[in-house]
Structure 1
Amino acid sequence: MVRSLTCGVAALGVVLLAGGWPDAAWAQGKSGPFSLFDNIFTGSSQTQDPPPQAAVPSASGVQPWSGEDGASGHPLMTAQAIREAAGNFDNCIAGLWPDAARRGISQDSYQRFTAGLTPDLRIMDLMDSQPEFTKAIWDYLDILVNDNRMAKGREVLAQYKTIFDAAEKAYGVDRYIIASIWGIESNYSTMIGDRSVLRSTATLACVGRRQAYFKDEFLVALEILHRGDLRPEQMRGSWAGAFGPTQFMPTAFKRFAVDGDGDGRRDVVDNPTDLIFSTANNLKKDGWQSGQTWGYEVVVPQGFNYMLADKARAMTLPQWEQLGLKRANNQPFPKMAEKAYLLAPAGSQGPGFLMMTNFRVIMKYNPAEAYAMAIGHFADRLRGGPPFVQPWPRQERVLSRAERLELQQLLAQRGFYKGTPDGQFGGQTREALRNFQASVGAPADGFASSEMLDRLRVR
């Protein structure tokens, strides 16, 4: 429940083709700066740990740090800064003891759990890695919402029906959404990750560019162990510290984990009651609306003004109908008073979606529109719903990182893009592209196609 780099999805290592949904690169979700979809969108690799070219596997088979500067260019990510921080690691950990004591962690616990800790510098490569190629959203959804995962999801829903019943009664959160998160985050507990949460967060608390954020995660991880909710061997997960089948960061565990079965521990790793109840509690506290869906697939009419496709432009469903939008299955909207915003993930060439309050809630769980769409759609399929009706523009070629960088540079040269070109698409890039498209009479949908790049190349 908080995203950092998760494992099931994270193993895909994909980035979206369209004009970058989050400026999610450092989206402010419960995961802080490291969302699973950070990496999906901005290009970092995750649990599969693809090696940098300079890296040589160690005798144990564990991939070592490349010894190179990080791609972010941050001064704390230079090879020299990383080596210096690693050399000071023991002093850094010792220096955190007063903060731990103020949190009620005993000296015995602190010494016991930090004894023998060493930095995992391979994390520095994972933090800053930038794959060359990307995946389109339709390929991404094909991978995540598949027959095998749906079959397993239905088994899980049947196996834990009594627990799901109780969780729905207590929190009012749709069981299919919880089952969807479980399935997409860890493929139903089969892809949780194998890095020590304590070692990962300790490394990031003392080395690299996000030390302030990860000091809190590290200290909370110690709180969890000191309290006895989990054992060290249970706290294994992604390189950024997310653990368990629904991928909690330590600070999210502290905020949302509950003892669902009353045994005195909050075990979100091996106890299905605590896992389901805690996930439901997270969504409820983030504003989940009982009885409401996440969104509707809609047909967008020809000639539509895509400048209205903006999450800041929420309107009632009747207002969207007046603009020509209708549900893709030709059914009426069931609750006409609800407000929604329009999302067009493949621009004017693909389906549109009207996103409700619960879609925003899922994005608080993980601040990326693609993630929330995958969760919502998978949940609908688990309850027996159909695939999306309209086709995706599968003929579109995915831009390479060099082309994404070039697109941003050309937008900047024309005065549309105000950020620093980095080849990582976010909301700022999409807005700049939409303004360029409007200036040349193209649908202002913010979709970064090869055709748009070619048009930008023309002086």
Structure 2
Amino acid sequence: MGTRRHLIFSTGALLSGCAASGSPAPTPIAAPVMAEPVQDGPQPSIPFDRFLDGLRADARRAGVREATLNRALGQVRPLQRVIELDRRQAETVLSWEEYRDRIVSPTRIQAGQRHYAENRELLQRIGARYRVSPRVVVAIWGMETNYGGNTGGFGVVESLATLAWEGRRASYFRGELLSALRILDAGHVTPERMRGSWAGAMGQPQFMPSNFERLAVDFDGDGRRDIWDSRPDALASIANYFAHFGWREGEDWGIAARAPTGFDPGSADPNARRALRDWARAGWRRADGGALPQTDAEAGIVVPNRSTSGEVYLGLTNFRVIRRYNPPVNYALAVGLLSERVA
């Protein structure tokens, strides 16, 4: 997410969300992580202090003020925990059904319904301005940070500096770090409040800094784009992201479908798109046996990863937009299903 919103490993839903969704209480924000000396594993080619000197020079050329650099970088040290998480990304392999039931859980649905009701007027204003369904905004909010309850406990500047210095994806993280410094310099947030995931995804929507610069909005009109503590800014920024990538107002995200006899999920072409009326002519129906809409809205076959039940969906254009927020198919399906249940 072009440039992705954030890397797969930084999404709250895939890491913290899986563990938290079955809990009756919101997942607490992780405790702040203190700097630790880097000891094991391959070492970067230059000392951290020299890395910071070069970073400061780049930031000055980008217009960041010296006072901002001193405040943001004065006490920064590499975080061993961030390097460990980056090098040892364990993949939790769940079936689609296990993932769906953990993520689109009764607890998350009920919390989403409550937050939707409490923020109905705000969500209606956001929906009217950006022409994006408030239901999908709330679903993303719930997937990413448990409705703002788990936004991450890592200092974003320190995490990004660690990853930019470590070197495996130095260019990417250096760019994100410079974006973060520009955000601080503009006064949208303080260094102390700029907290997020270990990979630098920030605030209630879990935006990476570069996407904050492009797509975060000041919906409450206070002069700052505050996706940490301003619910209007956070939710409107999600909506603006979807609008930017082509959300179609009034169109659903997809349809749980029943394939015709002889359909082989393994041979399905995920890039093949046809009008819903054409899928109907080919023998496709709704999962409950009902007829598909006789429209020209284009859809493609969506087969969940590691499904044990043979579920299949027809994903409309808005499903592809959800995947611009975070690409995994199962993530996007979970967002769609949760959006149907929160309102």
TM-score, normalized by the shorter chain, greater than 0.5: yes
Question: Structure 1: any 5+ residue segments left out of the alignment?
Answer: 15-46, 50-59, 69-78, 384-459
Of 174, 184, 187, which residue of structure 2 is paired with 1:228? 187
Identify if the C-alpha distance between structure 1 residues 66 and 300 changes in structure 2 by more than 3 Å, giving closer, same or farther. Answer: farther
Of 263, 269, 277, which residue of structure 2 is paired with 1:304? 263
Residues 406-426 of structure 1 show CA distances to partners (whole Å, capped at 9, x for unaligned) of xxxxxxxxxxxxxxxxxxxxx
**CA–CA distance in 2 between the matches of 1:7 and 1:160?**
22
Equivalent position of 1:350 in the other structure: 310
Q: Are 1:288 and 1:361, in contact at CA under 8 Å, matched by a contact in 2?
A: yes
Equivalent position of 2:97 in the other structure: 138
Equivalent position of 1:7 in the other structure: 12
* Residue 167, structure 1, aligned to residue 172, structure 2: no
**CA–CA distance in 1 between the matches of 2:318 and 2:106?**
25
Task: Please give the secondary structure, in 2, of the residue aligned with 1:248.
Answer: coil
* Residue 270, structure 1, aligned to residue 229, structure 2: yes
Q: How does 1:138-157 map to 2 (within 5 A)?
A: 138-157=97-116
Deviation at 1:354, TM superposition (A): 0.5
User: How high is the sequence identity, in percent, across the aligned residues?
Assistant: 35
**CA–CA distance in 2 between the matches of 1:48 and 1:301?**
47
**CA–CA distance in 2 between the matches of 1:320 and 1:307?**
18
**CA–CA distance in 2 between the matches of 1:286 and 1:240?**
23
Equivalent position of 1:388 in the other structure: none
**CA–CA distance in 2 between the matches of 1:141 and 1:113?**
40
Aligned length: 328
Aligned letter for 2:75? G
**CA–CA distance in 2 between the matches of 1:253 and 1:181?**
16
Q: Are 1:6 and 1:192, in contact at CA under 8 Å, matched by a contact in 2?
A: no
Aligned letter for 1:141? R
**CA–CA distance in 2 between the matches of 1:224 and 1:170?**
24
**CA–CA distance in 2 between the matches of 1:65 and 1:324?**
62
Identify if the C-alpha distance between structure 1 residues 339 and 354 changes in structure 2 by more than 3 Å, giving closer, same or farther. Answer: same
Task: Give TM-score scaled by structure 2 length.
Answer: 0.88
**CA–CA distance in 2 between the matches of 1:65 and 1:320?**
58
Equivalent position of 2:329 in the other structure: 369
Task: Please give the secondary structure, in 1, of the residue aligned with 2:99.
Answer: helix
Residues 313-368 of structure 1 show CA distances to partners (whole Å, capped at 9, x for unaligned) of 11111222232211012333335201111122256851110011111101111111
Equivalent position of 1:340 in the other structure: 299
Task: Please give the secondary structure, in 2, of the residue aligned with 1:296.
Answer: strand
Q: Are 2:33 and 2:153, in contact at CA under 8 Å, matched by a contact in 1?
A: no
Task: Please give the secondary structure, in 1, of the residue aligned with 2:42.
Answer: helix
Identify if the C-alpha distance between structure 1 residues 105 and 358 changes in structure 2 by more than 3 Å, giving closer, same or farther. Answer: same
Residues 206-241 of structure 1 show CA distances to partners (whole Å, capped at 9, x for unaligned) of 113000000111011111111111112321111100
* Residue 189, structure 1, aligned to residue 148, structure 2: yes
**CA–CA distance in 1 between the matches of 2:332 and 2:283?**
25
Residues 50-77 of structure 1 show CA distances to partners (whole Å, capped at 9, x for unaligned) of xxxxxxxxxx997968955xxxxxxxxx
Deviation at 1:283, TM superposition (A): 0.5
Of 60, 75, 81, which residue of structure 2 is paired with 1:122? 81
Of 211, 216, 234, which residue of structure 1 is paired with 2:170? 211
Equivalent position of 1:248 in the other structure: 207
Q: Are 1:164 and 1:175, in contact at CA under 8 Å, matched by a contact in 2?
A: yes
**CA–CA distance in 1 between the matches of 2:288 and 2:194?**
44
Of 91, 101, 124, which residue of structure 1 is paired with 2:50? 91
* Residue 80, structure 1, aligned to residue 30, structure 2: no
Task: Give TM-score scaled by structure 1 length.
Answer: 0.67
Aligned letter for 2:42? Q
Residues 105-162 of structure 1 show CA distances to partners (whole Å, capped at 9, x for unaligned) of 1122112211011001222221122537621111111111111111111111111111
**CA–CA distance in 1 between the matches of 2:190 and 2:216?**
15
**CA–CA distance in 1 between the matches of 2:71 and 2:200?**
19
Larger-gyration structure (1/2): 1
More displaced 10-residue stretch of structure 1: 338-347 or 224-233: 338-347
Residues 376-430 of structure 1 show CA distances to partners (whole Å, capped at 9, x for unaligned) of 00001113xxxxxxxxxxxxxxxxxxxxxxxxxxxxxxxxxxxxxxxxxxxxxxx
Aligned letter for 1:179? V
The alignment yields a C-alpha RMSD, in angstroms, of 2.5
Equivalent position of 1:400 in the other structure: none
Identify if the C-alpha distance between structure 1 residues 112 and 133 changes in structure 2 by more than 3 Å, giving closer, same or farther. Answer: closer
**CA–CA distance in 2 between the matches of 1:132 and 1:158?**
35
**CA–CA distance in 1 between the matches of 2:218 and 2:261?**
52
Deviation at 1:98, TM superposition (A): 2.8
Equivalent position of 2:25 in the other structure: none
Deviation at 1:9, TM superposition (A): 3.9
Residues 151-182 of structure 1 show CA distances to partners (whole Å, capped at 9, x for unaligned) of 11111111111111111110110000000001
Deviation at 1:295, TM superposition (A): 0.6
Task: Please give the secondary structure, in 1, of the residue aligned with 2:167.
Answer: coil
Identify if the C-alpha distance between structure 1 residues 342 and 65 changes in structure 2 by more than 3 Å, giving closer, same or farther. Answer: farther
User: Where does structure 1 differ by over 6 angstroms across 4 or more consecutive aligned residues?
Assistant: 60-66
Task: Please give the secondary structure, in 1, of the residue aligned with 2:269.
Answer: coil
Residues 431-452 of structure 1 show CA distances to partners (whole Å, capped at 9, x for unaligned) of xxxxxxxxxxxxxxxxxxxxxx
Q: Are 1:6 and 1:237, in contact at CA under 8 Å, matched by a contact in 2?
A: no
